[in-house]
């Protein structure tokens, strides 16, 4: 039971990271208007994975979903797919890791088996965190490329939105939590298993005294 606290810490971090990935995928602030130069506009534009929004200086905001999926840029389509995959994998890892936790009764009483289940959940969490990390980094690279492109109009340049930073933080927590869960090595449990002493056959000399 020495690493039960380590398991709980890893599970908590991975769960918090998974929630962060859901929030990052849902909110539309992936790209936000860049106010470069002396241009001052009366509205702010935000672009997300599923919709784009505009906020007026009066405080009114309106959002519109994308009309066509196939007309979207390749980076946005790939980010969508990777974020959805990371959320689905995180949910699967959540169920698997719960079965392997030492503080739960799921998965039987075999400590070695439960440790292996928790380690599997941690590995799935790592894969989910890597998928989200690639997605956020991909769209961030796309934003930087468009920003420094001299042919991009000044009023069409965007900067990083809060969703990207939330996604990076969520993927980092998922990676760290999955790594801690993967440290549930079942080898230490094998050494703690009690082994009954061997029974040796009686010698012939011992039978003569009976």
Return the closest-CA partner of residue 118 out of 7, 6, 1.
7
Helix (H, G, I), strand (E, B) or coil at 196: coil
Tell me, which fold does domain 4-28+69-190 have in CATH?
A: Butyryl-CoA Dehydrogenase, subunit A; domain 3 (1.20.140)
The per-residue pLDDT for 38 is 47
Tokens of 22: 């859901």
pTM for the structure as a whole: 0.79
What residues in the chain have per-residue pLDDT under 50? Answer: 1-2, 38, 188-196, 205-210
What pLDDT score does 208 carry?
A: 47
- The pLDDT of residue 102 is 75
Task: Render pLDDT for 10-63 as a digit per residue (tens, 0 to 9).
Answer: 899 999 999 999 999 999 889 988 766 545 556 778 888 998 888 876 767 788
What per-residue confidence (pLDDT) applies to 147? 85
Domain boundaries, the chain: 4-28+69-190
């Amino acid at each position: 039971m020495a690493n039960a606290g380590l398991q709980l810490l890893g599970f908590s971090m991975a769960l918090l990271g998974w929630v962060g990935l859901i929030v990052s995928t849902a909110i539309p602030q992936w790209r936000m208007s860049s106010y470069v130069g002396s241009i001052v506009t009366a509205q702010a534009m935000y672009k997300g994975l599923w919709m784009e929004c505009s906020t007026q200086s009066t405080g009114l905001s309106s959002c519109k979903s994308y009309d066509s999926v196939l007309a979207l840029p390749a980076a946005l389509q790939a980010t969508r797919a990777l974020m959805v995959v990371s959320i689905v994998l995180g949910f699967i890892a959540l169920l698997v890791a719960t079965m392997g936790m030492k503080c739960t009764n799921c998965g039987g009483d075999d400590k070695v088996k439960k440790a292996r289940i928790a380690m599997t959940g941690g590995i799935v969490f790592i894969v989910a965190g890597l998928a989200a990390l690639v997605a956020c980094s991909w769209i961030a690279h796309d934003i930087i490329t468009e920003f420094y492109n001299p042919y991009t109009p000044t009023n069409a340049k965007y900067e990083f939105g809060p969703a990207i930073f939330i996604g990076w933080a969520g993927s980092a927590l998922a990676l760290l939590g999955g790594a801690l869960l993967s440290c549930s090595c079942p080898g230490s449990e094998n050494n703690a298993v009690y082994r009954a002493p061997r029974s040796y056959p009686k010698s012939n000399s011992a039978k003569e005294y009976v």
